[in-house]
Structure 1
């Protein structure tokens, strides 16, 4: 069975195919991750080939057939692009890490409109000249983990369910989760939060963006979240873009 579908999409990446075409991987709002072929995309005269470019937000019309793995794009319109990201080394680093998460940890044809909308929003924020891309990536990372079903605990002790505050000694164990000081005494801790770091973690998980922080604290939290995913998802090998850039 085949159908013509219309949806918005983030272009995750693309590669050459044959003499004139390209294959692109999209994260669509209505159908999740999808591989598509753009025929003639390598021609200098191909408008659609220019539009279907990595990190662009596009609206596409696709001939979708259930029996094939790669679908066919028939038309595309550009909705958003992010020139500031592509001209800034630091912004590009974290935008690429967003794409890595989507490529590695989302399933084919598994719709997730909330995650799609959050991804578009994070690109808009990173693209703003005055925004710190590392801060907003850390915020997106927590959001992403929650949306794929592996929520990192930030509010209550995983053992006794006591509410946690920034003035407590908070510990973390990969098996047990976040623990208050009392529960942490009887269990091995893989990580101990400073008060400042735990306060930052709690703020990142809310809409509060008015907090003082250091780059080192953000690096520490991003590293912890990356290790959390590695521990819980065997096939996740980490974010190469955070090491290469």
Structure 2
């Protein structure tokens, strides 16, 4: 009986997960523009003379050849298009990169193309190399990712009443995916999160702006923290789970905050 052999295809991809498999192989997950998520194996990736193991490392933007199977696809050749060296030796940036890659993977499905998601992923990793506004980048990426996957938060009309949201302090519903007017009376659902007027302004800015515009917006720390809380809870509800890289990212951020505070106290 003749076995069907999948056609060899070439695609751009970002490596979003790697795991060692056996003595010499590696399992990897990649996000692609036209095939969605692909899970596969790299034979001999850990061998010293492997030409494919290096390019197929975590958070690298690559061009590769793959035979797509329903179970494990087979990766054969790969070249690095951008290894993003700007964040590889910086633990804080690498933590953000891990988070960016992980939630892109969570929103990706096998056989479901999303070129906009892929473009956003590559752009965000590129920005991560040199921006000093890591918190703003993370928030911008979260909002844009929600937009390109069809889960953009509703910020103009109350998700309970359908009426226009007037300027002011309101609430955010994670299960209904948007703002609830302060005077509305929601029935059931998840606990509502406070959304100040400044938080709502930032969310709207993040939703409509490209990176070059939003990176120049001045935002106080309280507004950033409030926005982060809303987006994180909304992502948790939408995805059904938290990202494993969140705790690593939070731990690094906490350490850096303590170091800055200690340095300030000594001066």
- For this structure pair, what is the TM-score category when the shorter chain's length is used for normalisation? 0.7 to 0.9
CA distance in 2, matches of 1:131, 1:156: 34
Give 2:152's aligned residue.
151
Give 2:230's aligned residue.
224
Give 2:72's aligned residue.
70
8 Å CA contact 1:23, 1:36 repeated in 2: yes
**Shift, 1:228, TM fit:** 1.5
| Stretches of structure 1 lacking an aligned partner (at least 5 in a row) | none
What pairs with 1:51-130 in structure 2 (closer than 5 Å)? 51-66=55-70, 69-128=71-130, 130=131
Cα pair distance change 1:47/1:146, threshold 3 Å:
same
Cα pair distance change 1:51/1:200, threshold 3 Å:
same
**Shift, 1:244, TM fit:** 4.3
8 Å CA contact 1:94, 1:134 repeated in 2: no
Alignment partner of 1:30 is 2:34 = yes
Give 2:136's aligned residue.
135
CA distance in 2, matches of 1:112, 1:122: 16
CA distance in 2, matches of 1:75, 1:225: 38
Deviations 1:213-237 (A, max 9, x none): 1344223222211212323443x13
Between 169-178 and 32-41, report the one with greater CA deviation. 169-178
Report the number of matched residues.
238
CA distance in 1, matches of 2:15, 2:175: 36
Between 54-63 and 38-47, report the one with greater CA deviation. 38-47
Cα pair distance change 1:205/1:97, threshold 3 Å:
same
Q: What SS does the aligned partner of 2:68 have?
A: strand
Give 2:242's aligned residue.
237
8 Å CA contact 2:29, 2:37 repeated in 1: yes
8 Å CA contact 2:106, 2:239 repeated in 1: no
| Stretches of structure 2 lacking an aligned partner (at least 5 in a row) | 253-267
Runs of 4+ in 1 over 4 A off after TM superposition: none
8 Å CA contact 1:12, 1:54 repeated in 2: yes
CA distance in 2, matches of 1:87, 1:214: 28
CA distance in 2, matches of 1:173, 1:41: 46
Between 84-93 and 198-207, report the one with greater CA deviation. 84-93
